[in-house]
Structure 1
Amino acid sequence: MAQNQQYYGRGQPQQHQLSHQVAKTTAAVTIGGFLMVLSGLTLAATVIGFLASGGFGASASFVFYWMYRYATGKHPIGADELDRAREKLAHTAHDMKEKVEQFGQHHIKGSQDN
C-alpha cells in the first residue's frame, strides 16, 4: 500500500496532469489579460488627467494675463463687452435704488396720513 501512495504522489496519470496544466494556464491568461486591460485603462486615465491639468493651467494663465492687461488700461479682447455689462449693471442698480426710495417715501407718507 505504501508503494501505491508513492506512485500516485510522484507520477500522476497523463490525463490528470494535462487538465491541471490547462487550468493553470487558463487562469494565468485570464488574470494576465485582466491586469493588462486594467493597466491600459489606468494609463489612459493618467494621460487624460495630464492633458486636462495642462489645459486648465494654460486657461488660467490666459485669464490672469487678460486681467493684467485690463487692469493696466490696455484694451484686451472682450473689454468693451465687459464695460457695457458693468455699466448696464450699475444703471440697473441705480434704477432699483431710486424705485426703493420712491416706494419707501410713498409708504411712509401713506402711513402718516392714517
Structure 2
Amino acid sequence: MADRSQPHHQLQVHPQYGGGAKGFQQHRQQQGPSTGKVLAVMALLPVGGTLLALAGLTLMGTVIGLLVSIPVFLLFSPVLVPAAVTIGLAVGGFLTSGAFGVTGLSSLSWVLNFFRQTSVPEQMDLAKRRVQDAAAYAGQKTKDVGQEIQSKAQEGKRT
C-alpha cells in the first residue's frame, strides 16, 4: 500500500517548444546569449588582447636580442663554451654532493631511530640465547659424529 501522506510527483509536459528536440533547438536559437555572457566577453576582450599584444612584443624582443647576440656568441665562443661546461660541471657536483649528504644524514637518522626503538637488553638476551642454542647444537652434533666414528672404529677392530 502506498503512503497517502507523501506528495506524489508527476511529470508535466508543456507543448510550448513545438514538441521534441527540434522544437527545443528552435527555442534556443531564438533566445540568444545571456547578459552575463555578453558582459564577460566585453570585460575579458581587452584583457586578452592586451596579454596577446604583450606576448607578441616579448617574442619580438627575444628574436631581436638573439639576432644581436649571435655574433657576440660566435666571437667569444672559445671562452664561453668551456666556461659554460665548467659552470655546469660545478653545479652538477654541488647538487650531487648535496644529494649524497642528505642521503647520508637521512640514513644515519634512520639507524639512530631504529636503535632508539629497539631495547638493547632484549636484543642482547636474544643474541645470547641464539649463541647458546648454536653452541648446544654444535656440541650435540660433535658428540654424535664422535660416537659414530668411535663405533666405526670398533667395528673395524672386530673384523
Q: Higher relative CO (CA 8 A, sep ≥ 6), structure 1 or 2?
A: 1
Larger radius of gyration: 2
TM-score, with length taken from structure 1: 0.48
TM-score, with length taken from structure 2: 0.37
